[in-house]
């Protein structure tokens, strides 16, 4: 019994001491601009009509690494980043701003 308590304590201390990334040499946390289930499609849209309809929407040319990167990717095409539910023929239904924007 004492051995299992010591083993659990050892694993807990190793887990707490593990690096989590960031500026001290670890890798940064991945960016998920459209993490919600309903608004899951990452798109660059020319216009957004009241959050209901995105106009002239396309998939970003590359995966965004941050909110600023998502803005830059879409700005190259003169568009704005959006998270939408259903893209169809350049239109997207139910759109909102991505996380961090």
User: How many domains is the chain partitioned into structurally?
Assistant: 1
Q: What is the pLDDT of residue 78?
A: 96
Which residue segment(s) compose the domain that 85 sits in? Answer: 31-101
Element (H, E) at 94: strand 91-96
pLDDT in tens, 17-73: 455 555 556 778 899 999 878 999 999 999 999 989 999 999 999 999 999 999 999
- Dist. CA 69–CA 6, nearest whole Å: 46
Asked if the model's pLDDT at residue 12 lies above 70, the reply is: no
Task: Give the pLDDT of residue 14.
Answer: 47
Helix-, strand-, coil-residue percentages of the chain, each rounded to 5: 25, 30, 45
pLDDT of 36:
79
Indicate whether 1 belongs to any domain.
Answer: no
**For residue 47, what is the domain's CATH number?**
3.20.120.10
Residue 97 within a domain: yes
State the pTM of this model.
0.70
């Amino acid at each position: 019994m004492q051995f299992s308590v010591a083993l659990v304590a050892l694993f807990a201390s190793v887990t707490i001491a593990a690096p989590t990334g960031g500026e001290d040499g670890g890798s940064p946390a991945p960016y998920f601009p459209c993490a919600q289930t309903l608004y899951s499609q990452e798109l660059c849209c020319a216009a957004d009509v009241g959050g209901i309809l995105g106009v002239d929407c396309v998939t970003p040319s590359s995966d965004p690494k941050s909110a600023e990167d998502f803005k830059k990717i879409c700005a190259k095409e003169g568009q704005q980043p959006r998270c939408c539910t259903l893209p169809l023929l350049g239109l997207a239904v139910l759109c909102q701003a991505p996380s961090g924007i």
